[in-house]
Structure 1
């Protein structure tokens, strides 16, 4: 039967190994290129990610050591290799998979997403030899009569020549039930293990396109698309009775409330400085002071306000002095002049995205 998981998602039979690690925040997201043979109208990538760029989580990769550092910071137990289509830069992708396996061992689980357009037997053999554990195919179900779709479907058959987990991964797009059923049966007949279905969401880059096509959000507070979740559940119910595949319906809530939060919590343990508090959401909460001359402010806080120097950190890159929240609260009441105090919450990520700022007093 279709069951609800503890992660706000839905499943039939066993979750793929890649998903098991992902929901616990244990998967590094390794974006090896934004280049892709397709241009799907629902692709959520931002414009700057549609270039030939590499990211490990939020960190731009300038050297291979950036990948190892990010995985270590996260204490990752695996990686999800994505894009674009990682096969569009096959040699780079192969190099990174080998790098992760060499540094973290054979048990470091790596799964990869691909359209299948470039999944020739020769290319798949390179991925397999590099140590790839799981491959997920996302053919263009919207254009089943196109030449590219026929290539994708034919190439998928090559994957079953290798001893790894093979499955599919598709968005749940209202109006596409027949195509989704066809794909599930196709996978099942080939001997695939699973089909992952993702609740469709608006992104900044797809909002206008999806609205123009008649899609609507679930609510004013949600980026999820109306009808997508229900369609996904309908497919799972059908698939349980008509195929032997495992299914996982990955919801918008899972991505935001579970996967991201669990990853942030893992990273926060490594990133948090002594004066920072780790919140339930995995963000870092602390106080800051802003002033034109940071050296002058630091000297004043240590010598005049008698704040212990070990409680203060001068962050020149962000133009502020950081400190424990309670110290900022006390100083905001006591210090007069142009100094501004705030409580901030930030992601413990490479970019340190600020998610909240509270002025004091």
Structure 2
């Protein structure tokens, strides 16, 4: 059972505010059920891994469970090289779990940026060094000409390797359209079979035409009797990958999910308990039956952490100063030492003698503070100084808000975007052994640890830093 920490209490309060008109009518996880659900999850994971073969594994800080292999698109998503272009906002499906209304054709959008012109989007992909693009919606086949225009433009304007895939419910798929997509460079197509009662007609058309055919569906618990036997069929039909994702509750789909008597989980976003159990059950079944179909469970904790980090990393590489660092979560880390003028000048002279790249540090005019990149850590003498560590996040905006520091990024003569910088932690101050602790934990693990490093370390300090430095490992706790 997970204790109710201040952070969890805050999340629960926010959830109650967001669902104020319906919170009391929803079935929320109780502490007793949380313990039972955690035990069930642990037993399923044990059953998945307790076998002689090497089929199952974890990726991305233990937030993504998969068997055999991940699709190239999923690998790009987790590593930060992916852009999802919502090609439209209209759909011909009636999926009960859809998180938002899909009645507006709209313009293509990604990361709050609208791209009416395919050339502008291609220039965005090129400048931000994006290695994977997906077309989503809505239903992309409802604006097929638009998809084709963006696909052709990307292939003609991008010279670096680019993996492109698209999502569909399959209702409008034809063999001719599939061949057109293939001939213009589509690498992968992903079918949500649950949107069409798990019919395989469209999928069968794609196998042998599109190089990689994937099925991506939510793990719907009441459909297990259909999806268990489906696993072997998908493998026999030549499907390359099966992606199972976790159902998420939104104010838009809340009433339909509630009607199914799901148990709701608190978290950064509300998710459905039973969908995670269903995904793990399907993975176990595939392994028990020796079905070699690669399966990947795309948990919400993976999506919320790694997809956000991916966007921030791209921004960070452009907006951060040379003396600043990028953390694994995509935050900008700013480190400086503060001391008297004599000490700071001495450090400055040492760096001049040892590091030819003078952009990796800078001092204030009064020489009471020296900012430095983590690459210089081994050259720093931290005696008689305080270390200040600050963290910032970034966002991509269509125009300048003038509320935050920003940098304009010119895509071409007609289109530019703006990266804004947001201070998240203005300053954590460390001295003495606590500086050594920080260096060992976050800069260079080879720094020899000692018991004195953590002596009198404020209890909340590691958590306050971890949120900017590292991903929360494993599947999300139940509460």
TM class by smaller structure: 0.7 to 0.9
What pairs up with 1:279-290 in 2 under 5 angstroms?
A: 281-283=329-331
Paired residue total: 300
Match for residue 320 of structure 1?
A: none
SS at match of 1:213: coil
SS of the equivalent of 1:348 reads: strand
Q: Tell me the equivalent position of 2:174.
A: 120
How far off is 1:21 after superposition? Answer: 0.9
Instruction: Give the alignment of 1:294-313 within 5 angstroms.
Output: none
Q: Which residue of 2 aligns with 1:139?
A: 193
What residue number does 2:73 align with?
18
Distance 1:259 1:203 in 2: 19
Distance 1:74-1:208 versus aligned 2 partners, 3 A rule = farther
After superposing the two structures, state which structure 1 stretch, 200-209 or 248-257, moved more. Answer: 200-209
Say whether 1:264 aligns with 2:312.
yes
Residue number among 50, 67, 86 corresponding to 1:31 in the alignment: 86
> In 2, distance between residues paired with 1:60 and 1:162?
31
Please give the alpha-carbon distance, in whole angstroms, between the structure 2 residues aligned to 1:90 and 1:154: 19
**d(CA) in 1 for partners of 2:396 and 2:251?**
21
- Residue segments in structure 1 that go unaligned for 5+ positions in a row: 287-325, 327-342
Q: What RMSD in Å do the two structures reach over aligned CA positions?
A: 3.2
Task: Summarize deviations over 1:19-61 as a string: whole Å, max 9, x none.
Answer: 111111101111111221102121123x488533311333111
Q: Distance in 2 between matches of 1:94 and 1:203?
A: 31
Q: Are the structure 2 counterparts of residues 68 and 220 from structure 1 closer, same or farther at C-alpha, using a change threshold of 3 Å?
A: closer
Contact 1:9–1:250 (Cα < 8 Å) also in 2: yes
Match of 1:60 in 2: 114
* Deviation by residue 1:99-122 (Cα, 9 ceiling, x = unmatched): 112222473100111111111101
Deviation at 1:9, TM superposition (A): 0.6
Query: How far off its partner does 1:220 sit?
Result: 5.2
Q: How far did residue 234 of structure 1 move?
A: 0.9
**1:292-328 deviation line (CA, Å, top 9, x unaligned):** xxxxxxxxxxxxxxxxxxxxxxxxxxxxxxxxxx9xx
Q: Which runs of 5+ in 2 are unaligned?
A: 1-54, 335-363, 365-389, 399-418, 428-479
Range with bigger deviation, 161-170 or 67-76:
67-76
Match for 1:240 among 279, 287, 298?
Answer: 287
* Contact residue 82 and residue 310 of structure 2 kept, 8 A: no
CA change 1:236–1:75 in 2 (3 A) is same
In the alignment, the residues of structure 1 paired with residue 103 and residue 113 of structure 2 have an alpha-carbon distance, to the nearest angstrom, of 12
Give the secondary structure class of the aligned counterpart of 1:170. strand
* Correspondence 1:181 to 2:181: no
The structure-2 alpha-carbon separation of the partners of 1:137 and 1:19, relative to structure 1 and needing over 3 Å to count, comes to same
Name the residue aligned to 2:266: 219
Greater Cα shift, 241-250 or 64-73: 64-73
Larger Rg: 2
Q: Does 1:206 align with 2:250?
A: no
Does structure 2 retain, via aligned residues, the 8 Å contact 1:24–1:263?
no
Q: 1:163 to 1:124 in 2, by over 3 A?
A: closer
Summarize the Cα distance change of 1:358–1:22 in structure 2 as closer, same or farther, 3 Å threshold: closer
- Change in Cα spacing, 1:32 to 1:184, as seen in structure 2 (3 Å) is same
Q: Decide which of 90, 100, 111 is 2:165's aligned counterpart.
A: 111
Whether the 8 Å CA contact 1:268–1:348 is kept in 2: the answer is no
Rounded to whole Å, the distance in 2 between the matches of 1:73 and 1:212 is 46
Corresponding residue number in structure 1 for 2:340: none
Query: Are the counterparts in 1 of residues 91 and 138 from structure 2 also a CA contact under 8 Å?
Result: yes
Task: Tell me how far apart the structure 1 counterparts of residues 96 and 394 of structure 2 sit (CA, whole Å).
Answer: 30
Return the offset for 1:165. Answer: 0.7
SS at match of 2:93: coil
Is 1:89 matched with 2:89?
Answer: no
Q: 1:48 to 1:180 in 2, by over 3 A?
A: closer
1:349 aligned counterpart, secondary structure: strand
CA distance in 2, matches of 1:206, 1:353: 32
> What residue is the counterpart of 1:43 in the other structure?
98
Residue 221 of structure 2: SS of its match in structure 1?
Answer: coil
